[in-house]
Amino acid sequence: MATNPGHRPEDHAFVLPAATIAGTTFFAATGEARSAICNAATGETIGWQEHATAELVDRAVHAARNALIAWRHTTPAARGRLLRKIAELLEADRERLSAMQMQVSGKPRFEADLDVSDAAATFNYYASLCDDASMFAAESVAVPDDTLQAERMHEPMGVAALIVPWNFPMVTTAWKLAPALAAGCTAVLKPSELTSPTEHMLAEIVSEAGVPDGVVNVVNGGGDVGAWLTAHPLVDKISFTGSTASGRKVMQAAAQDMKRVTLELGGKSALIVRADADVAQAVTLAVGGAFANAGQMCSATARILVHDDVYRKFMAAFETAVRALVVAPPDHGGAAMGPLISAAQHARVTALVAEGVEAGAQIAFTGKLDSACADGFFMAPVVVAEPAANNTLWTDEVFGPVACVKSFRSDDEAIALANDTRYGLVATVATNDEKAARRYKAQLRAGLVWINTPQLIFPQVCWGGFGLSGIGRELGVAGLRSYQELRHAVGLRA
Ligand code: NDP
């Protein structure tokens, strides 16, 4: 990639460009906004992210619009070859990508590695859809008139604005970018200002794979940069992952030009442990569901419902497991849980816990921090027992390592409690009763239900939820269709 002549980064460990547009990187003029990139495990500033101006956002959208004309007419098979190449390069660069995720987010190595695997699997999956000509070919539609023929076609939507948060930056980007490119859309990506280094690396890989300049552009900065992008009249589609509050603003901005939107927002999901469950397995599901990625997951099953008959046994085993969880920096051999992403997120989660406790929530037990956690944004896991139904720790998304446990006596009660939320992203059920499992699958109001399994996410299986959890579905064939307009044609049969 070329560097825009006339602008040089300052002499610093690393300064990331404000934008990458049609293969050229742009550094802001002196005095423009920039933000620190921190190492979440040490609190140190390790670099700087320059912020794009409204003018750079406009240039990025125009670059995507110019590249669209040629890109949408490439064959799906040619696009598939490029997507497969991106997956190969991600795998080949695994060590560097994992190291950067560990350095910025403080994720333990196994979590950072999993992110690389998920991103590569997503590009490979959409490459395989591109190889399937039936995904893109016109299909005939039966109509009740023999003299007529009708057909259905899927066309690329156009320029896609992809706005991603900081919790799984590379993965969330892959979930959006791979189907957008497969569909024949061009893109402007806006990473989170906190975790942009891995997105820069991904953008370099996309370019190295041979994706033509202008097909994927990156603009960096905070919410204002995202807002300029969502308001731009030449953007056709917005795919946003983040908070419900920001999602509302995105949807309002989209309404002006009737832009298509996919919103992947928050959650307050349930893990249900029936009396017949394997309690040891249920504890493993509870620890993973509530504390993976330090609880910073839209899919966190932070409301744990446990049948009365196994409640005491579950709580005793859960406490042992939580106390044994090694919360430590990623270079610590046994690290199982890393820090929160930022000082602000740490302050936010700590304040939410204090507010919940002030309102009467009882902390049953907490985990502990390793001695190596002194400087970063670490927080020990917190488990609250039997909060009131209106306690904010039970009702609101915390996005940190905080889980609430409540007991229940019947399936009716468990289903009612699990569904008593305005969100509806995922749910997990621990049970050895197949009939009961079928009932939970049918009656839980959630986009994805796991039975006796950890939070497995396959690119073949759609992701998205009900209510405040968002609009539309990512991944799977629906993920591809979300970047395509559906068209029909009806005419006289030849
Ligand atoms: P936001 O929803 O604010 O941010 C998500 C992304 O959107 C970021 O790239 C952000 O930029 C950008 N953005 C912010 N405002 C706008 C806007 N008006 N228009 C367009 N883009 C915008 O999440 P935060 O990072 O502030 O986290 C706050 C809370 O959101 C968390 O504590 C958590 O509860 C929830 N959250 C949920 C996520 C999920 O996966 N469902 C993911 C992340 C957060 P930037 O951050 O660079 O300013």
Concatenate the DSSP letters of all residues of 69-80 into one string. HHHTTS-HHHHH
Q: Please give the domain boundaries of the chain with CATH numbers for all domains.
A: 14-265+470-489 (3.40.605.10), 270-451 (3.40.309.10)
User: Helix, strand or coil for residue 133?
Assistant: helix
Tell me how far apart the alpha carbons of residues 296 and 338 are, in angstroms, rounded to a whole number. 10
> Could you count the other beta carbons within 10 Å of the beta carbon of residue 456?
8
Nearest Cα residue to atom 12 of ligand 1 = 223
Predicted confidence band of residue 13 (pLDDT cuts 50, 70, 90): confident
- The per-residue pLDDT for 6 is 33
For residues 267-294, average pLDDT: 98
DSSP conformation letters of 357-421 = HHTTPEEEEE--B-GGGSSS-----EEEES--TT-HHHHS---SSEEEEEEESSHHHHHHHHH-S
439 is written with which tokens?
A: 């009932």
Buried b (16+ CB within 10 A) or exposed e, 75-105: ebeebbbbbbbbbbbbbebeeebbebbbbbb
Report the nearest atom of ligand 1 relative to the CA of 349. 32
Kindly name the residue from 50, 264, 397, 474 that is annotated as catalytic: 264
Q: What is the pLDDT of residue 2?
A: 37
Q: Is a pLDDT exceeding 80 seen at residue 142?
A: yes
H helices present in 132-218, as ranges:
169-183, 196-209
Average pLDDT over residues 176-202: 97
Q: Which residues contact 29 (CB under 8 A, 6 or more apart)?
A: 7
Is residue 234 classed as helix, strand or coil in its secondary structure? coil
CA of 40 to the centre of ligand 1 (A): 17
User: What's the full length of the chain, in residues?
Assistant: 494
Contact 439, 410 (CB under 8 A): no
Residue 25 three-state SS: strand
| Per-residue model confidence as pLDDT tens digits over 232-275 | 999 999 999 999 999 999 999 999 999 999 999 999 999 999 99
pLDDT at 3: 40
* Average pLDDT value for the chain: 95
The span from the CA of 411 to the CA of 416, in Å, is 8
| Residues 368-415 pLDDT 10s | 998 999 899 999 999 999 999 999 999 999 999 999 999 999 999 999
Structure tokens at 153: 């076609």
Rounded CA-CA distance 494/492 in Å is: 6
| C-alpha to C-alpha distance for 267 and 418, rounded to whole angstroms | 12
Strands of the 148-156 sheet, one edge to the other: 139-141, 148-156, 484-492
Query: 30-39, 100-109, 231-240, 250-259: which has the minimum mean pLDDT?
Result: 30-39
Task: Give the containing element (helix H, strand E) for 318.
Answer: helix 308-324
Of all protein residues, the one whose alpha carbon is nearest to atom 21 of ligand 1 is: 226
Report the run of H or E that residue 159 belongs to, with start and end: strand 159-163
Q: What percent of the chain has pLDDT over 90?
A: 95
Where b means 16+ CB within 10 Å and e means fewer, 322-352 reads beebbbbbbebeebbbbbbbbeebbeebeeb
Q: Tell which residue, 457, 102, 152, 163, has the closest CA to residue 293.
A: 102
The per-residue pLDDT for 424 is 98
CA distance 455 to 64: 35
pLDDT above 80 for 30: no
* pLDDT, tens digit (0-9, with 9 covering 90-100), for 164-186: 999 999 999 999 999 999 999 99
Residues with CB under 6 A from ligand 1: 163-167, 190, 192-193, 222-223, 226-227, 230, 241-243, 246, 249-250, 265-266, 298, 345, 348, 397, 399
Query: Does the pLDDT at position 70 exceed 90?
Result: yes
Decide if 228 contacts 190 (C-beta within 8 A): no
> Per-residue confidence at 87, pLDDT binned at 50, 70, 90?
very high
CA distance 396 to 157: 35
List for the chain the helix, strand, coil content (%; round to 5): 45, 20, 35
| pLDDT at position 11 | 47
Active site residue 264: yes
Question: pLDDT at residue 1 above 70?
Answer: no
Task: Give pLDDT tens digits for 448-493.
Answer: 999 999 999 999 999 999 999 999 999 999 999 999 999 999 999 9
Nearest CA among 221, 232, 236, 270 for reference residue 403:
270
DSSP 29: P
- Mutate which of 57, 246, 469 for ligand 1? The one with the most ligand atoms within 8 Å of its CB, which is 246
pLDDT at 81 over 50: yes
